[in-house]
Amino acid sequence: MIVGYKLDKIIKRGLLMKIAILDAITFGDTSLEGFNQFGDVTIYKKTSPAETLNRVKEADIIVTNKVIISKEIMIQSNSLKLICIAATGMNNVDLEAAKELQIDVKNVAGYSTASVVQHTFAMAFYLLEHSKYYDEKVKTKAYSKSQIFTDVSKPFYEIKDKKWGIIGLGEIGRNVAKVASAFGSEVLYYSTSKKNNNKDYTRVELDELLKECNIISIHAPLNENTKNLLNYKELDMCKDKAIVLNLGRGGIINEEAVAKIVDKKDIYIGLDVFEKEPLSQESPLFTVTNKDRLHLTPHIAWTSKEAREKLIDGIIKNIKQFLKDVK
């Protein structure tokens, strides 16, 4: 049975919608007042799987970042007309069911590119220049007690004239490549789809990229081509003192392999995304001895204030376009 909606009912209501925002905590301090123009807005900071149906079933429009919207939930939500995904990825919504049930689904693309690029370099430089070590050196007064004006106990290199490898040369990957090139790095890339042929940079196979590059950053989606793309064998191919960063999706780098390799090889790894989020308290990453070789951030690359504002603006534009189309 198709559970749709009648356009005349929408028109009679003057296009005033009931909107449920399901995981507003992910927007931080970004204003949500713009949604009020569309009707009755209910904001939930977080929504558990057990709470989802009750919060969705009376809504005309829902906004979700990570809350899963299944076919079963859609079937029981007779008023639901539009699902706004507060992200680019759409894997938390059953898209086939939405199409079958005549429920529109809209995402927001490109809002976080600048933020992710910036965080990529923040992670790279943190590891490259041993920022934690030197910060603690000063704050513990060890530097104050030293005999010289500087400290060269943790040498670092310049990225100028080094090779920067990119796995996934989409919009974010291309922008990382531009910045790396501006620093004087030679950019190589690996196409996870095997279809990307960018003439501005050198395309290589994965093994060559791992063996040749000083810094490697991942900006690819998680799919059958990228699941466990970098396991222990692949990480062990990397140069000594190489930096490997994952800002794509958790699961592209095997986390057990990461935990082992940083204790056995002089390699530095930065992860902003994890296979399970939030990161499990039993994660092997917490067992690492050489913690200075591992930099972890809680999936924040996308979260600059500007990116979150662009995201909200994008959702509001999607709702306006939907209502315009309905008229």
Residue range 61-78, pLDDT digits in tens = 999 999 999 999 999 999
Residue 93 in this model has a pLDDT that exceeds 70: yes
Answer for the pair 83, 98: CB distance below 8 angstroms, yes or no.
Answer: yes
Percentage, residues of the chain above pLDDT 90: 94
Residue 148: inside a domain, yes or no?
yes
Number of domains the chain contains: 2
Query: Do 47 and 173 share a structural domain?
Result: no
Answer for the pair 7, 292: CB distance below 8 angstroms, yes or no.
Answer: no
Query: What b/e readout covers 92-102, taking b as 16+ CB neighbours within 10 angstroms?
Result: ebbeebbeebe
Mean predicted confidence (pLDDT) in 254-276 = 98
Task: List Cα–Cα distances, 31 to 43, 158, 309, in angstroms.
Answer: 12, 40, 8
Mean predicted confidence (pLDDT) in 223-229 = 96
Query: Do 136 and 175 share a structural domain?
Result: yes
Confidence of residue 14 (pLDDT cuts 50, 70, 90): low
Is pTM beyond 0.75? Reply is yes
Can you list the pairs that 290-294 forms with residues at least 24 positions away whose Cβ atoms lie under 8 Å?
290/262, 290/263, 292/130, 292/132, 292/133, 293/127, 293/262, 293/266, 293/267, 293/268, 293/269, 294/258, 294/262, 294/268, 294/269, 294/270
Residue 301: inside a domain, yes or no?
no
> Dihedral, CA atoms, 255, 256, 259, 262, nearest 10 degrees?
-90
Residue 236 in this model has a pLDDT that exceeds 90: yes
Tens-digit pLDDT profile for residues 157-185: 999 999 999 999 999 999 999 999 999 99
Tokens for 74, please give them.
């859609």
Query: Do 211 and 82 share a structural domain?
Result: no
Tokens for 202, please give them.
């050198």
Mean predicted confidence (pLDDT) in 145-163 = 97
Closest by alpha carbon to 306, among 110, 44, 45?
110
Query: Do 96 and 37 share a structural domain?
Result: yes
Residue 293 in this model has a pLDDT that exceeds 80: yes
Query: Do 140 and 51 share a structural domain?
Result: no
Residue 3 in this model has a pLDDT that exceeds 90: no
Mean predicted confidence (pLDDT) in 87-113 = 96
Confidence of residue 326 (pLDDT cuts 50, 70, 90): confident
Residue 291 in this model has a pLDDT that exceeds 70: yes
Query: Do 77 and 53 share a structural domain?
Result: yes
Query: Do 233 and 84 share a structural domain?
Result: no
pLDDT at position 16, please?
85
Residue 321: inside a domain, yes or no?
yes
Query: Do 76 and 27 share a structural domain?
Result: yes
Query: Do 125 and 90 share a structural domain?
Result: no
Confidence of residue 4 (pLDDT cuts 50, 70, 90): very low
- CA atoms of 169 and 209, how far apart (whole Å): 13
Mean predicted confidence (pLDDT) in 188-204 = 96
- Domain containing 252: what range? 113-296
pLDDT at position 327, please?
67
Residue 12 in this model has a pLDDT that exceeds 80: no
Phi-psi region for residue 8, left (φ > 0), alpha (ψ -120 to 50) or beta? alpha
Here the CATH number for the domain that contains residue 176 is 3.40.50.720
Query: Do 317 and 177 share a structural domain?
Result: no
Q: So which residues are the catalytic ones?
A: 249, 277, 299
Residue 207 in this model has a pLDDT that exceeds 70: yes
Query: Do 279 and 131 share a structural domain?
Result: yes
Residue 114 in this model has a pLDDT that exceeds 80: yes
Average pLDDT, the chain: 94
Residue 2 in this model has a pLDDT that exceeds 50: no
Answer for the pair 206, 190: CB distance below 8 angstroms, yes or no.
Answer: yes
